[in-house]
Structure 1
Amino acid sequence: MAHRNKAGASKASRAKKTPKETPVVTGPNMDSLGFLAMDSNVPGLSQVILQKLNMKSYDDYRSAVEGRKLCTDFGIRSYFEMFQKMEDTFKFCVECKKLPESMPDPKSLRRCKRCQNVYYCGSECQRANWPTHKKVCKKLKLVALDRLVEWLVFTGDIPFLTSPWTKRILEVRGWEDYFSMQDGLEEKLSNIMTGRYMNILWANAGKPKPEEAELLESVKRVMTDFVSRPATIGLGLCLFHLDPYAKPITVHVVGASHVETLNARVTDYNELSRMFPKHQGIEVVMVGVDVVDGPIMRPPLVAFGPRERVYLSSYKGLYHDFWESQVETQQAAWPDIVVGFHPGFHACHDLMESWLPTLLLLRDYKIPSLFTVYSEQEMKNSLKILMELETQITGCGANPFASLKPEQAYSNPNKPPVYCNSHYMMFWGLSAPPDELDIGELDGGEEERD
């Protein structure tokens, strides 16, 4: 019961403490951990990326991503140069891990013709690596294609405007059902396929243009990557029996990275309005140390806007700091549900330390929570931690709205690709005493809470 006692004491102290007006952002930066970890597999790869971007350090990279500052010589003169520099960051021998500058002839690197994704410094490395690579070669072909098509996100071609859902979310079994609800789908996809930027892409990509059917499937996979987040939130609302038709709903997205925040434009999260037509209002507040710094979009958060609207806000910092400075001072609404996309607390001690106060807070205040992970194994590891913290697990399983776009381990391409929001876990308050806990409950995934 050590966790319960510790959590109870921390809860009491939170209630008495005077909230800090400007909390200090502490804790590991998810983006920097991933960026710098590349060198553990391919020494010097992070520096190659910075060099291609004309940047000196990760701080320069971060500032550019957040739109705060660009280095003086940052810039790309042509589309061809942009795609070439992007491809250059993948140029290392996947078998011996050598970078081009460490080879007698940097031009000796050759790309796998099948997947157009991995490189080898010679035939010996290619033969040695083939037993491993052949297991993922077909999937890596999809990775390479989607990586290029994803550029259409930045041109505004993707995501396209979607239609109101004609089925309840629990009746939508997957993406085939989702796309079947889209009015004029063929025309929308055709506009993307024949659009100006699609033509620019393949005129400058330095790779052969795939068949139209392959390209069409890639566009749809990239589209699911966007809809996956709001659809997962909608799934959480239904599984926790939260009714957006009965009252306004507040959703806190915890641990949100800068990529999620940039991609989660208001137009994308308006998918919630199409999932729940004529809802009473939905507020989505993104909280995390990786969130792009900037003003909350619609203060004060306790004042709900008109019906049928989704509002997006952000807060840069740890969730328990946000709770003290915003929720406990009634500057932000108490959440109806907390959603975490890939929190990663199972991955390392530092991340778990920064997540522990948040997990205990969610447990002690009995806040319905849903977290997603990249794989079934990550789900099992995370569930083990949640059970050690004596949280009540109310469901888990494969997410019907998992992204279809495969994600590649950047510096270790031959690892099997994973998928965003692949699996989900639901927890709500404290677990029952050990003699009452039914572990079989984990097999369900859609049980009703008490």
Structure 2
Amino acid sequence: MSLTRLRSGLSFSSPIYQLSRQVSSLPHPTPISATAVRFPLPRDPSSPPLTPPTRAKMVWCATHLNTRVKLMIKMLNLDDAAELSSYAIFTKRRQNVTTEICEAIIGAMCKAKRYNDALNLFHYFFNDYNLKPNISCCNHIIGALCEQNRLQEAFALYGHLLENAPFLRPNEDTHQLLAKGLVDADKLQSALHFVRRLMKKEDDVGSSVLNHLIRGHLKDDGDFTSAKRIFDVLKRKLVSSGDAQVFDLVFSFHGGDYNEIAVVKATFMEFWFEQGNDKEAMECYRTLAPKDFRMNAKTGNSLLQLFLKYGKKTEAWTLFNQMLERRNAQPSGFDSETCNIMVNECFKLGEISEAIKTFDKVKTVEDDDSQLCYGNILARFCEQGMLPEAETYFAEMSSKQYLIPNIPSYRTMIDAYCKAARFDDAFRVLDRAVEANLKCVATFSCLLFC
């Protein structure tokens, strides 16, 4: 029995450009004219335009559809999620929920780096069937284009939003994605010009935008002076003072989020580490220690990765344990990536028992993060040929009341069983995967009318 045949069993749906399951009867919504395309996005000539379902109920309940789509996304079954989301064109009466459906699937495709699928869905929803996006939908696409170094197309969409979409106001996330794209493409001067124009218009220019400029100065030529100057601009922008003591006092008094500053300091820390100046890097980190701020997971994870990258293992574990201790009181300060960073580091160093010990500390909470943590450690076990351990944790995950193994977890186990020539077990897991998938979509055909 071949691995290819087994894995094909996990293709629960056709590719997303064949959205054509039949459910009941209704004429298609009429697409807008091809000459009236609202958003200037490229089309991949190798991908046929998405087509709507051939049949559908008179009116789909947007809330129920939203729930189904997000459940499939949670299982990382993105093809089925995309197919279900295609029914959003029939739910225009609940515009806010309809837009939420579109944003969820486009964002999931971008997170999975399935950028062409995300572009096709954007065309389908907003150009072909004239649904209204929110700015987050557009930001996902701008980010995808920047990741592919398609900056001209990203700025074309941005310009279109400014000129032709008054209901869509670019925000700081839009600006930081574009600034990041320019800096990553070694276009620092263009990034500086872009941000100056934003500041002149008094648009959203926060720490995330300016941090990319700082990173660009430090990356290009190690221009610490210019980077420090931008940091001072940020501090003055936040509290009208660049003095360190005055800034900390006023910023704290006004309840500012010190994570904005911590992320920038992490950028300076990396610069000093790269220069071989560990003393200066750690001094920069120690300036964060006295600050009584609620460090979020994004900030903490950045620091963990930085410490591990530059051999500061003790500091990494100290920070990780602090984040874990504060987890119940501050859920936003710990996520699946926090766990996976440290578990993966243990596997990388061959410290398997420490990886298991670390994971066991984290798995006590049953939530979406735990699902991703289980999926990660299963993959690490299978990479090491530790199938019995993988079986134990997969069974444990499956027994949890509020955890659903996602599609990659099923695939991991099937691949491992096939590699071990245990094809009966592979088919057993495949049957369970199909059953779990069917349970998630079974109620779809029973959606209520709104």
TM-score under structure 1 normalisation? 0.26
The structure with the largest strand share of the pair is 1
The structure with the largest helix share of the pair is 2
Higher relative contact order (CA 8 A, sep 6+): 1
TM-score under structure 2 normalisation? 0.26
